[in-house]
Structure 1
Amino acid sequence: MGTSRWIMRSVGSLLLAAAALKAWGLEPMARLGVLSTAEAQLTIIALELFLGLWLWIGAGGGAKALGPWLLAVLTFTVFACVTFYLGWVGQSSCGCLGRYSPNPWYAFGLDVIVLAALLVGRPDLTALRTSPRASLAANAYPGACGLGSVTLLTLLLALLPTLGYGPVEQIIANLRGQRVTIQPSLAQVEPGAPGQQREITVEIANWTDAPIRLIGGATDCSCTVLHDLPITIAPNETRSVAVRIALSGQPGIFTRKAAFLVDDQGFKEIGFTMTGRILKNSQPRDIAGGAR
C-alpha cells in the first residue's frame, strides 16, 4: 500500500510539473495537427492538473484510488503512443514540457517507465474483481466532475472568439504583455545534407492597435526572408513569412536561434528557434527523415 501511494503521488507530481511548464512556455506539442493549437494545449494543461491532483487525493488507498490509477494508465498509454510516433517521424522535440521539452524518444522512455511504475504500484484490485460495478461507481462522481470541467473549458475556449474576446493566442499574449508574437516558436526544418536549402513558414501576429513593420532578420545562421522588406502588419493581423535556411554543419540534429527585427514603438527583436537534422551526403532523405 505504501509503494502504491508513493508511486501515485510521484506520477501526480510529474503531471503537475508538466502542466506548469506547459503553462509557462505554452509550446506547441511538436506541431502535431490539432495539438498545435493554443486551445488544445490549454485543454491538455487542464487535464494534467486535474489528473495530478486526483492522483494525490486518491493515493490514500482504498476504492478511491482506482479511478485516478485507471485514468493515469490510459493517459500515459496515449502519451507513449504520441511520443513514439513523434520519434518515429524524426521530430526533435516532443513539446510535452513547454520550452524544456526533450527528444521524443526520451519522453517515450519516460512514459514507459511511468506505465511500468503504475503497474507495479497498482492499488488493490480485489474490490474491482469481486464487485466491479460498485468499485467503478465509487470513482464515477469525481471523475465525471473533473473530465466535465475539462470539457467545459474546451467549449469555452472554442467560444471565446464568438463572444468578442479574440482568439486564445491574443488573450495569452495580452496576459504576458506581448505585443508581437511569432508561431511556431520552435520551427521544424526538413532533413537535408550540408549545402542544401530548406524553407520554413512562421506566422507573425500583431496584437497592438497600430501597424508594425517587419524590417529584417538577425540570425546566427544562413537564413533569408523570402519577402520584400519591410512588411507592414496591420493591427490584430497575422502574416505568414517564409524563411529559407542553408544547411551546414556536421550530420545530426541541430538547433539554431533566429530573430526578426520589427519596428513597434522602436526597434526590437522577436526570436524563435529552428531545429532539424543534417544528413550525410549519401543518406537518403526519405529514410532518414521519415514520414512527415
Structure 2
Amino acid sequence: MRLSGLILRLPAILLLAAAALKAWGLALDPVGRAGFFSSAEVQLAIIEFEIFLGIWLLTGLASVGAWLTALATFLVFACISFYLGVIGQTSCGCFGRFSPSPWWAFALDAVVIGLLLLGRPDFAALRDERRGHLGRELLPIISGLGGLVAIFAILVGWAHSAFGSVPAALAHFRGERVSVYPGLAQVETGTEGEGRSVEVQVANWTDNPIRVLGGTSDCSCTVLGDLPLTVPPGETRAVTVDISLSARPGIYTRKVAFLVDDDGSNSQGRAITRGVAVNPRERFSRHRRNTMK
C-alpha cells in the first residue's frame, strides 16, 4: 500500500494544478470551448471535482475508492484528449489558458494511468476488512461529496441572485462590460463552397445601451450579419456569423472581432475577438464524389 500511496500523490498534484489553471482562466477570460463544456456552470463543477479528488488522494482516506475514482477520471480524460487529437483540435482546454496539444494531454493521461495500474492497491487485503471499518472510512468521503454539491449549489444560487446568472457574475469579476459567447462556436461538416451559419450572443452587462458597430474576420469567407445593432442594458442580442467553407480538410478556427461602441467606457470602438471552429468537409469526400460519377 505504501507504493500506491506515493503514486496517488502525482495525480493529486496534477488535478489541483489543473483546477487552479482552469479557475485562473475562467476568471480572466471566457472558456473558448464549444458545446456542453463551454458552460460556466459545467466549468465550475469540473474545477470543484478536481479539487475534491486531488485533496482526497492527498489525504489517503478510503485509498481503494480514491484509486478507482482517479483511474476512472483519467481514463475519461484520456478518451477526451484522444478524440480531440483525432479530429484535429489544437488545444485540449484541460489546463485553462495554458492549452497544450491534445496529444500531449493524452500522453500525460496515459502515463498517470500506467502509474495508477502499477501502484494498484491490495484488493485481497480489502476483502479482509470489516464492514464497520470501511463504513467509518467512507463516511468522510460521502460527507465531502455532499459538501461539494452544497458549495456548488450555493455558488450558483448566489451568482443568480446577485448578478442574474453565472456568466454575468464572472463578467463582473473580470471587469467585462460586454461579453460575446460562446467563446468558440462550432459549425457542421460540409464540402467546399457550402455555407454555414452560427449565432453568437452579445451580452451587455452595463447600465447603458451599447452599439455593436460591425465586425472583422481573419478570412473574407466569414461575414457578420444583423449589424449594426443596439444591445439594451442588461440584455443579450444574437448576431449571425455566415461562413463559406474552404477546401481545407480537418478542423480549423476563424477569428471574429466585434467592434463595440460603449458610451460608458473609455475604450470605444474596441474589438472583442472570438473563434468559430469549422469542419470544412469530411476527409476523402472528394474521392467519394469521383467514384460516384
TM-score by length of 1: 0.81
1:146 Cα offset (Å): 2.2
Query: CA 1:198–1:104 in structure 2 vs 1: closer, same or farther (change >3 Å)?
Result: farther
Per-residue CA distance 1:215-258 (angstroms, 9 max, x = gap): 1112211221121x211011111112110122336333322322
Q: How far is 1:73 from its partner?
A: 2.2
Query: For residues 60-139 of structure 1, what are the structure 2 equivalents within 5 Å?
Result: 64-80=62-78, 82=80, 94-101=92-99, 107-108=105-106, 110-131=108-129, 133-134=131-132, 136-139=134-137
Q: Please say if residues 67 and 143 of structure 1, whose CA atoms lie closer than 8 Å, have aligned partners that are also in contact.
A: no
Q: Structure 2 vs 1, CA of residues 30 and 177 (structure 1 numbering), >3 Å: closer, same or farther?
A: closer
Q: What is the distance in 1 between the residues matched to 2:32 and 2:253?
A: 17
Given that 1:29 and 1:94 are in contact with CA atoms closer than 8 Å, whether structure 2 keeps it comes out as no
Select between 66-75 and 38-47 the one with higher mean Cα deviation: 66-75
Q: 1:139 is matched by which residue type in structure 2?
A: E
Q: Is the 8 A contact 1:259 1:272 kept in 2?
A: yes
> In the alignment, residue 224 of structure 1 is paired with which amino acid?
V
CA distance in structure 2 between the partners assigned to 1:281 and 1:114 by the alignment: 33
Query: Closer, same or farther in 2 for the Cα pair 1:37/1:157, shift >3 Å?
Result: farther
The counterpart of 2:239, out of the listed 238, 241, 255, is: 241
Whole-angstrom distance in 1 between the partners of 2:258 and 2:160: 32
1:130-168 CA-to-partner distances (Å, cap 9, x unmatched) read: 126255324313312321122012322442366344211
Find the counterpart in structure 1 of residue 9 from structure 2.
9
Q: State the partner residue of 1:41.
A: 43
Asked whether the equivalents of residues 92 and 276 of structure 1 are also in contact (C-alpha less than 8 Å), the reply is no
| Aligned residue pair count | 280
- Segments of structure 2 that go 5 or more residues without pairing to the other structure are 289-293
Q: How does 1:97-246 map to 2 (within 5 A)?
A: 97-101=95-99, 107-108=105-106, 110-131=108-129, 133-134=131-132, 136-160=134-158, 163-222=161-220, 223-227=222-226, 229-246=227-244
Residues 160-188 of structure 1, C-alpha deviations (whole Å, 9 max, x = no match) = 36634421111111111111111111222
User: Do 2:214 and 2:260's aligned partners in 1 also have CA atoms closer than 8 Å?
Assistant: yes
Residue identity matched to 1:274: V
Tell me the secondary structure at the aligned position of residue 253 of structure 2: strand
Q: Percent identity?
A: 48
Verify the 8 A CA contact 1:87 1:104 in the aligned structure 2. Answer: yes
| CA distance in 1: counterparts of 2:245 and 2:205, whole angstroms | 33
Aligned-CA RMSD value: 3.1
Return the offset for 1:94. Answer: 4.4
Q: Structure 2 vs 1, CA of residues 189 and 85 (structure 1 numbering), >3 Å: closer, same or farther? A: same
